[in-house]
Amino acid sequence: MRTSMLVAASAGTIVTGLLAYAVYFDHKRQTDPEFRRSLKKNNRRLARAVKEEAEAHGAMQREAIKKAFQQAQAEGFPTDLEEKESFFMSEVAKGESLCSEDTLAGAICFWKALHVYPQPKDLISIYERTVPKEVLEVLAELIAMDTSLKLGGAGAGGADAGVDE
Cα–Cα distances (Å) from 113 to 30, 38, 89, 140, in that order, read 60, 54, 8, 14
List C-alpha distances in Å: 63 to 59, 69, 102, 112, 129: 6, 10, 16, 19, 27
Q: What angle do CA 95, 100, 102 make, to 5 degrees?
A: 75
Q: According to the model, what pLDDT value does residue 158 have?
A: 40
Q: Label residue 18 by pLDDT band (50, 70, 90).
A: very high
pLDDT-derived band at 159 (thresholds 50, 70, 90) equals: very low
pLDDT, residue 152, reads: 60
User: Per-residue pLDDT for 154 more than 60?
Assistant: no
pLDDT band at 13 (very low <50, low <70, confident <90, very high): very high
DSSP state of 119: -
Q: Judge whether residue 2 has pLDDT over 90.
A: no
Find out whether 104 and 110 touch, Cβ atoms under 8 Å. Answer: no
* Average pLDDT for 114-129: 89
Percentage, residues of the chain above pLDDT 90: 39
Q: What pLDDT, on a 0 to 100 scale, did the predictor assign at position 156?
A: 40
pTM for this entry: 0.63
**Who has greater pLDDT, 122 or 148?**
122
| pLDDT number for residue 49 | 95
- If you average pLDDT over residues 62-75, what whole number do you get? 89
Using the predicted structure, report yes or no on whether residue 161 has a pLDDT greater than 80. Answer: no
